Amino acid sequence: MMRTFLFSFVMMLGFLTLNGQTVLQIERSGSSHTVKLSPGVMLQFRLKNDPVWYSGELVRLIPEDSLVVFHNRYVRLDQIEAFRRSLYWPTRLGRNLFWFGVGWSGFALVGTATDGIPETTYEWSDVVVSSTAVATSWLLPRIVKHKVTRFGKKRRLRILDLSPVERN
């Protein structure tokens, strides 16, 4: 029983590693840092001389022909101009700024109402801080949405086949 389980586990590991032998690599000139994309990843890309951003799942890479196979099209590697990925930190920061602005106004109103000092009031500075935080929380995710990686002089895109070479 244990032998059967072990054999099945080793076979599954073998099949999982076979799938990741061909990768799409993003290189930056002058840097040893690379980004490797395996089949199965969702990409947003733009083709040369085309303003439209396409989205698709990377299905297969064909290094002999320099082809990238998406779920709905084939694209030559030299025709890809840029990749784009969504940024999540502007939305998170915007949400925190919104609650900061609401909290600032809330604490200023509660403090003014409950401190027992008639000279303290809800001032224009409280309005400015709260409204600036809320406005920034609304604008930030709309201004900063994506990070675009363009290919050309500084960055290069290539297909690497990392499968072992068969010897005769």
Quick one: pLDDT at residue 97?
A: 96
pLDDT score, position 12? 60
Low-confidence ranges of the chain (pLDDT < 70): 1-20, 165-168
Beta partners for residue 45, in sequence order:
54, 83
Whole-model pTM: value is 0.62
Q: What is the pLDDT of residues 18-41, one digit of tens each?
A: 544 889 999 998 888 998 988 988
Burial label for 24, CB within 10 Å (0-12, 13-18, 19+), is: buried
Q: Which helix H or strand E contains 85, and what residues bound it? A: strand 80-86
**150-159 residue pLDDT tens:** 998 899 998 9
Find where tokens 């030299």 sit: 78
